[in-house]
Amino acid sequence: MIAALVALLALLGGCAATPEASVPDDAEAKRFESAPRAAIVYLYRADTPSSATSTLWVDDRIVGQSLPATYFRVAVRPGRNRITAFGPDQGRLEIETREGGVYFVAMQMAGEGESSPNTIFRSVPPEAGKAEILRCCTMLETWRPGQWRLPF
């Protein structure tokens, strides 16, 4: 029963649409400021255009569906944080964060086709991450509990 529920959630997650953040929210996030009592992780995808997507999780909390030339700004509890892609994609990275820190994780899609993507995660230095996000990317909203995730 639990396995069937997990499979259903994975299927629904694969059909999801992640909304683009507003222009003011995107501009504010591109100031790259820290937050009190949290660490901030920027997950960005600057790879070449592709329709391949993967559903992202941070510390067992769904973040959203990655798209080319987009990023997420995620507040996390300081400590050991696990970033994973879900479904057929088994991408994974663990990073150590500290309160008030700002971290950057580049994502790249690889694999044998868009039907079976594999996300490669890598930590990048702050200056490189900031420059890449400013050059290429638009912010996506992180999913919230109770948010409808299937396109109408």
CATH assignment, 2-139? 2.60.40
Across 69-78, 79-88, 143-152, the highest mean pLDDT is recorded for 69-78
pLDDT tens-place string over residues 80-92: 999 998 866 678 9
Two tokens, residue 126: 């702050």
pTM: 0.82
Q: What is the pLDDT of residues 38-70, one digit of tens each?
A: 999 999 998 766 667 888 999 989 999 988 899
Domain boundaries, the chain: 2-139
Cβ 42 vs Cβ 73: under 8 Å: yes
Give the start-end residues of each E strand in 10-148: 39-45, 55-58, 61-65, 70-76, 79-86, 92-97, 102-111, 117-124, 138-139
